[in-house]
Structure 1
């Protein structure tokens, strides 16, 4: 059983979180989902979904899955030293790190993506690249895996990446069946990315 530490902040993108949550949360024997924010309390998504969270300082486990979504809230949070320091600390105790959309834009400020391959939302790709020039940003990718770090392109790409993560951990057949169960057409090829052409960086 792995704890999934879901880091939330105001103006997170709802589907960034709840697409992957739909998948991870259905494997109750493998994953326990927990919602956290820097100060705890109710957090609102960009679509006004309210989630009750615990304080990040209350985390005392190790070998968890650290999950960082994106959303408009990341635009200011990339300059939030307190949050960045906390993410850096949490990442060191994580078994896996997963970011969706501009979650990688936020996480790259820890410096832990330097020298690694990663991707992000293509609409915000130029901005993301400017934040961390030492990251090997992959322009055309639905998601990227480098070691224990998974990063995805924008919003719905988090669903494809999470199914890829399940495939890596539990096997392809299990991931494929899950995509059928939720009636989702899984983009199994991590390099599939038509949006990289729509939003040229």
Structure 2
């Protein structure tokens, strides 16, 4: 999917909408029409890796929607004098999709993170989003080409597939999985399961408002 209002940064086309506009004007209508949708939440690291890795770049470019998840993307757009409306955090977009799935009793599959975190995610979903139909879940320590996992997800026919395998791996897995499905929203969410379960604390709202969430992560997780 391409939009005349997209902003291209190093050949990666970012959608130029607020999160609410994206939900109201594109995502929810596509979900209601049962259109298969591949979402990439890309930060500057994605763009730099895409610059160096042709296959990864092509995978990202094949997505239906690429959202600017990172202040560096916002600043790059300003430098190009093609400002993006706002940063769309992948974690926040995931929460909005979970709320929608809960309100409509839709089917979700949760893939990724460690076995312990993955199990905790399911408990959190059951508690916070009790109307979601959990059609399956699996931790992220498996061979990406394992046909059993792909078949399991395909047979579950989920409306949403949340994939937390980390950059590159999650996009690669989604890209290879898509042909098996006729519908569903597929979104790579990185470490969001860890945040949702409280294993990793998100930055305080003041830091987020000041676009300093990246700095908070460095302070808390310097190994990153």
Would you call these one fold, judging by a TM-score over 0.5? no
Higher relative contact order (CA 8 A, sep 6+): 2
Q: TM-score, normalised by structure 2?
A: 0.33
Larger radius of gyration: 2
Give the structure-1-normalised TM-score. 0.36
Higher fraction of helix: 2
